[in-house]
Amino acid sequence: MQNPFETIEQHFKMLMENQNKILKRLEEVEKSVQNKETFKKVMTLKEVAEQLQICKPTVYKLINEGKIQVRKSGTRTLVLGDSVRNYLTVEPN
């Protein structure tokens, strides 16, 4: 039978590894946000998903929550680059 403290230690190590991965990704995002050329003035939903490295349904969720603003151009939905930049700098999560 495995010692419960070993199990806790293993879980703690996994959490620390995940935390380090998240912090590294956050640093990458912060660097890209500092570079104002990273985001075009207007982007498609696909481009936003690629830039943020998230799936398109998550982009829709952010739009529905009002965290990212869009404009319609005919049948196309366009995302404002400043809106994405603001989301990344204001959102705590």
> Tens digits of per-residue pLDDT, 55-66?
999 999 999 999
- Give yes or no: residues 29 and 69 share one domain: no
Specify the number of domains making up the chain: 2
Give the CATH number, domain containing residue 73.
1.10.10
Q: How many CB atoms neighbour CB 77 within 10 A?
A: 15
In which domain, by residue range, is 13 found?
1-35
DSSP classification of residue 11: H
Q: What is the pLDDT of residues 42-84, one digit of tens each?
A: 899 999 999 888 999 999 999 999 999 999 889 999 998 888 8
CA distance 70 to 78: 5
CA distance 73 to 3: 61
The answer to whether residues 33 and 51 touch, using CB atoms and an 8 Å cutoff, is no
- Give yes or no: residues 43 and 86 share one domain: yes
CA distance 67 to 4: 42
Which one-letter amino acid corresponds to residue 78? L
**DSSP letter string, 42-58:** EEEHHHHHHHHT--HHH
- Give yes or no: residues 11 and 56 share one domain: no
pLDDT band for 33, please (50, 70, 90 cuts).
low
